[in-house]
Amino acid sequence: MQGINTHGFAYRFILRWAICSLGLWIAAGLLHGNVSYGNHVGAIVIAGLILAIVNTLIKPVLILATLPAILLTLGLFMLVINGATVLLVSWLYSGLQISGWIAAILTGVIIGLVNYLVSAILEGR
């Protein structure tokens, strides 16, 4: 029987944490006024950690619960789920402020793009 590969999980989680933090930082720069972290790097790191945990634990449950909506919209409902996770993080952690649904959805899109670019770079090495 195979053991759990904790090193692989830890590596993927730390990478997810870094991508979430980078995406939040970029979103704050692009959506200034709508996404704020008080210009404290520590706030971005903590918010990125919370977002990585939410994406690991809660997001799969949200996807399963909303699978019919995801299928009916050909995946576009994932934008709402991504925005909901970002809003949840801003609710859980006061160091990150998101002005509303549109800013949360756009932040989710930016994080997704950062994830795509980082994954493409790492896979191309």
Domain segments of the chain as ranges: 6-123
Rg (CA), the chain: 15
Q: In terms of pLDDT, which residue wins out, 81 or 125?
A: 81
Give the separation between CA 35 and CA 81, rounded to whole angstroms. Answer: 18
Pair of tokens at residue 79: 């934008």
What phi, psi does 35 have (nearest 5°)? Answer: -130, 120
Specify the pLDDT at position 9: 86
16, 8 contact by CB (below 8 A): no
Looking from the CA of 27 toward its CB, the CA atoms found within 13 Å total 33
Q: Which residues pair with 97 in a beta bridge?
A: 36
Q: In terms of pLDDT, which residue wins out, 70 or 125?
A: 70
The answer, as to whether pTM is greater than 0.95, is no
